[in-house]
Structure 1
Amino acid sequence: MIGRLRGTLLEKTAPEILIECGGIGYEVTMPMTSIYALPKLEDEAVIYTHFVVREDAQLLYGFANKVERKLFRLLIKVNGVGPKLALAILSGMSADQFVSCVAHDDVSTIVKIPGVGKKTAERLLIEMRDRLKDWQSDLLTPATDAMPLMPGESNTFVSDAKGDAINALVSLGYSQAQADKAVKAVFASDKSSEALIRDALKAML
């Protein structure tokens, strides 16, 4: 089991990154909340991982801290929730925000996440309630508990930030039309793709 990686961040194309550790480049899929917390390219990054082996693929999922990984592991135990949907949930809100939704039976917020219908949302609230009753966020560490980047702070700005943001939202489960509309609503020429994704996700929830 690969549980943690520390290495040089080579690429960051949401929702995937490439991190080099000991001369080996690992492709890792991450929720947007974790990608916001990553350093700039060529800097050292530390991520916590969850390794999935399937018949047709070996997949590595990464998280900025143990809290997000813990919630991801709880989510994929829910009937009908796979890694892709769990990543979509963690991309739309922080771990504590999701826990708050469960505590307050907030179905209306949960159903706004792509791929989550009313029945799935209700099942999430029911199954996660007992699992999260003793939830604590004391697993956060100073090294990885970073605040999301604000517009203009990203060091990975590219000229096609709008296109990258739209592609990232589509990969998270939103339709092309939803992604186009959301990114267009928050677009500004000085925003990085990460800032656009974050603002678009907030606007849709």
Structure 2
Amino acid sequence: MIGRITGTLVEKQAPTLIVDVQGVGYEVQVPMTSIYQLPDTGKQVLLHTHFAVSETAQQLFGFATRADRDLFRTLIKVNGVGPKMALAILSGMEGKVLARCVAEDNVAALVKVPGVGKKTAERLLIELRDKLPALGVDVSPLAAMEQASGGVPSLSERDDAEAALVALGYKPTDATKAITAAVKQAPEAKSQELIRLALKAMIPAG
């Protein structure tokens, strides 16, 4: 089992990285939420990893934090969810957003993830409600309300902002990335403010 690697980030072509560890280049699959936290190529990087072996492939998955790696391992234990889908889920939403999604029974947010249908989303909500507390994540409705009132935009605010960017012609992945960055910049912002901040970052000045 390869639990962690440290080396030089040689290539970064999302979702694939190549990390040079003492002359050996490791190919690592990384969710977009971790990609945003990584340094530029040529710099040192530490990744918490999960090594998956199947009949057809051997793959190394990497994460910026141990918590994201643990969440990935929890996701792949859900019936019908493999590493590829788990990676897609964690590329579409951060762990705390996924936890609130579970607390709010938000099927609509999960089915936006490529490859996740309604039945799979419903299964995820049911099974994660039991599994996430073991990771120290509170998925109760009260926790969701406290998070929403404590400076994290509700899923509907994020969804509205992302949908508006897509309607303007931006790719869904670019919209998600821009809104995620906007949320970090202004945690209490409503959808209109998130859109403004995202557009300001996406449209070059001048």
Same fold (TM over 0.5): yes
**CA-CA distance at 1:54 after TM superposition:** 1.8
Q: Deviations over 1:66-95 (max 9, x none)?
A: 111111000001111001110110001001
Q: Distance in 1 between the 2:168 and 2:48 partners? A: 33
Relative to structure 1, the CA distance from residue 195 to residue 107 in structure 2 (aligned partners, 3 Å threshold; closer, same or farther) is closer
Relative to structure 1, the CA distance from residue 195 to residue 21 in structure 2 (aligned partners, 3 Å threshold; closer, same or farther) is farther
Q: Tell me what 1:92 maps to.
A: 92
Q: Tell me what 1:109 maps to.
A: 109
Q: Tell me what 1:172 maps to.
A: none
Kept in 2: contact 1:185–1:200 (CA 8 A): no
Kept in 1: contact 2:92–2:176 (CA 8 A): no
Instruction: Considering fraction of residues, name the structure with more helix.
Output: 2
Measured on the aligned residues, the alpha-carbon RMSD in Å equals: 2.5
| Aligned: 1:186 with 2:170 | yes
Q: Tell me what 1:199 maps to.
A: 178
Q: Tell me what 2:61 maps to.
A: 61
Kept in 1: contact 2:166–2:175 (CA 8 A): no
Matches within 5 A, 1:139-178: none
**CA-CA distance at 1:55 after TM superposition:** 2.3
Q: Distance in 1 between the 2:43 and 2:113 partners? A: 32
Relative to structure 1, the CA distance from residue 18 to residue 183 in structure 2 (aligned partners, 3 Å threshold; closer, same or farther) is farther
**CA-CA distance at 1:58 after TM superposition:** 1.1
User: Which structure 2 residue ranges, 5 or more long, are not aligned?
Assistant: 138-164, 182-194, 196-206
Q: Distance in 1 between the 2:166 and 2:28 partners? A: 25
The structure, 1 or 2, with the larger RCO (C-alpha pairs under 8 Å, 6+ apart) is: 1
Matches within 5 A, 1:44-83: 44-83=44-83
- State the secondary structure of the residue aligned to 2:112: coil
**Count, aligned residues:** 154
Relative to structure 1, the CA distance from residue 29 to residue 183 in structure 2 (aligned partners, 3 Å threshold; closer, same or farther) is farther
Q: Distance in 1 between the 2:4 and 2:135 partners? A: 22
| Aligned: 1:18 with 2:18 | yes
Matches within 5 A, 1:104-143: 104-136=104-136
Kept in 1: contact 2:11–2:17 (CA 8 A): yes
Q: Distance in 1 between the 2:86 and 2:58 partners? A: 17
Q: Tell me what 1:27 maps to.
A: 27
- State the secondary structure of the residue aligned to 2:41: coil
**CA-CA distance at 1:23 after TM superposition:** 1.1
**CA-CA distance at 1:104 after TM superposition:** 1.4
What percent of counterpart residues are identical?
53
Q: Tell me what 1:4 maps to.
A: 4
Using the TM superposition, name which of 49-58 and 83-92 deviates more: 49-58
